[in-house]
Each structure stands twice: as structure tokens, then as C-alpha cells.
Amino acid sequence: MILRSKHRVEGGASSINQLAVLGGGTVGRGIAIALAQADLPVILWTRQEERKVQRKIEATLQHDFQPSSLSQEERERIVCNIYITTELSLIAESDLVIEALIQSVNMKKKLFNSLGHLCTPSTVLVATNTVAIEEIALKTSYPERVVGVNFFNPAYRTPLIEVACTEQTSEETLSLIRELAAIMKKELVRVR
């Protein structure tokens, strides 16, 4: 299962070909909608039944967007850009994995350690809170590709995202986050 981005950026094709969001809850669905709204294909991994998450996404698009701001065709495009699955292995080839599951730092450390083994050595791993990002990064095999990104809720409405890097975060990782923000038309603010 490979969903490919059609985006082009200054100087050529986008570096972001496949994205994954972990978590079918309110925050994860909001991030997936925001990415799909920017015409980015998203694999949304969830522990919930896929059809239930699909219905919640459709309900959000129906109730949170005015008909004048989002046509039926645009709603359908957003839904088609989100592939919902309970198979974690499908995210392994993603260029960027955004975790939107848990708020426990200890649980995030364990999750990011697992993701470091599941995903390719070039996959950028994103924690959706910027607190304790250094601790989380050090629990992975590739701390240079871990970054904290705060998507303000709901992600499909807010024009801003925050990024927090660690001492190990590589320039390539930060560059990919900048590219993502540009594609999403979000202002990127770097925090400490």
C-alpha cells in the first residue's frame, strides 16, 4: 500500500511521498484532515474499527466546514486522500510518521523506539507535543530524525504549527518539516 503525493516544491518534486498519522482520535483525525485538505495522501493508523473512524471524518467535514467553504467534491477528495487501517506495518515506508496517540512520555518513548525499528532509516518521526522531545528522541535508534510538532487543534483550521528540535535533530529533518508546513500553507514557528 503506497499512497504517493503529487506535490512539487521549488526546485523539483516534493520529498514527501507518503505520510502516516498514528491515532484515529480527535487530534489524529484533525491532522489527517489537514494533510488531506492540502492534497497529501495519508495513511491513518487506528486501533478503532476503520469504518467508525471514516464516519467520524465524514461527520467532521459535514459539521465543521460551511458548505460555502468546502464543496462536496472537495469533501470527497479529502476523504479519498485518507486511507484508514489497523495494520501498523503499512506505515513502514512512510517518509513522515506523525504520532497523535498518547500523552504519556514513557509510552511515547516505547512507541518511538518501536517505530525506529519498523520504519525505514530515513523516516522522520514526529511527536505531537513538544515537551520532553529530547527524552523521546534518545530512546530511538535514529534521534536525528525525531522532532516535536504541535498542530493546534483543530489542525485543519489553525494557520500555525510549532516545531521543537533536539540537539540531535538533523537539518534534513527540519527541512522536511518546513516543506510540510509550506505544502499545508501553515506558518511554522520554532520553539525551544
Q: Residue 24: which CATH number?
A: 3.40.50.720
pLDDT in tens, 161-179: 999 999 999 999 999 999 9
124 contacts 177 by C-beta, under 8 angstroms: yes
* Number of structural domains in the chain: 1
Task: Among 6-15, 20-29, 149-158, name the one with the lowest average pLDDT.
Answer: 6-15
125 contacts 176 by C-beta, under 8 angstroms: no
Q: How much of the chain is in helix, strand and coil states, percent to nearest 5? A: 40, 20, 40
More confident residue, 83 or 10: 83
d(CA 128, CA 112): 12
Angle (CA) 18 24 116, round 5°: 50
More confident residue, 107 or 31: 31
The answer to the question of residue 2 being in a domain is: no
The answer to the question of residue 127 being in a domain is: yes
Average pLDDT value for the chain: 89
The answer to the question of residue 82 being in a domain is: yes
- Residue 160 belongs to what domain range? 8-191
Task: Give the number of other CB atoms < 10 A from CB of residue 106.
Answer: 12
The answer to the question of residue 1 being in a domain is: no
The answer to the question of residue 99 being in a domain is: yes
What's residue 8's pLDDT? 46
pLDDT in tens, 60-115: 998 888 777 788 899 999 999 999 999 999 999 999 999 998 778 888 888 888 88
pLDDT in tens, 32-47: 999 999 999 999 999 9
What's residue 179's pLDDT? 96
The answer to the question of residue 121 being in a domain is: yes
What's residue 38's pLDDT? 95
For the entire predicted model, the pTM comes to 0.90
The answer to the question of residue 3 being in a domain is: no
d(CA 104, CA 36): 27
